[in-house]
Structure 1
């Protein structure tokens, strides 16, 4: 499934074919110059199980790496991914 991830205010989102309705999103808050807090991840039930949330997290990690900032995980999904795959996320994890 090829879905376009778009940068939006304080996050990244995927929109439906009309471009009007968000069908998946990951949000963050900037809490310091070099730290963002991943606060929320949501995927429409129709897309769940397709790896969409992980694609959004990957984009957020790329964004943070590009900006030389770290991510603090507050969103349960991001917390779980950071804990399950520390080798993949430790370089960007503000709690490490």
Structure 2
């Protein structure tokens, strides 16, 4: 499983590739210079239940920690990951 990030001026996304197939995509928008808003997470039906969505959220957490920014999880799925994992909340 390979996770790629594409970051543009005001928006970006993480995407997961498995054997050259897109397994999932999570989009975000920049809110100023110091936070991102995760607005949508989608996993291809053949990859559901394999932790693809969680891996994208974890990648966003790593990105936020590395850049010293915070995350607003507007997406219900991303919010549920933060609710279940207290150790990720330092980026909220």
TM-score, scaled relative to structure 1: 0.83
Instruction: Name 2:74's counterpart in structure 1.
Output: 74
Over the residues paired in the alignment, what is the CA RMSD in angstroms?
Answer: 1.4
- Unpaired stretches in structure 1, ≥5 consecutive residues: none
Instruction: Name 2:88's counterpart in structure 1.
Output: 89
- Unpaired stretches in structure 2, ≥5 consecutive residues: none
C-alpha deviation, 1:23, in angstroms: 2.5
Report the secondary structure of 2:2's partner residue: coil
C-alpha deviation, 1:37, in angstroms: 0.3
- On the 8 A contact 2:23/2:52 being kept in 1, the answer is no
TM-score, scaled relative to structure 2: 0.86
Q: What is the alpha-carbon distance in structure 2 between the residues aligned to residue 80 and residue 16 of structure 1?
A: 24
Q: Which stretches of structure 1, 4 residues or more, deviate above 6 A after TM superposition?
A: none
1:1-96 aligned at under 5 Å gives the runs 3-9=1-7, 10-15=12-17, 17=19, 19=20, 22-85=22-85, 87-93=86-92
After superposition, give the CA deviation of every residue in 1:64-89 in whole Å (9 maximum; x if it has no partner).
1111000001001011111222x222
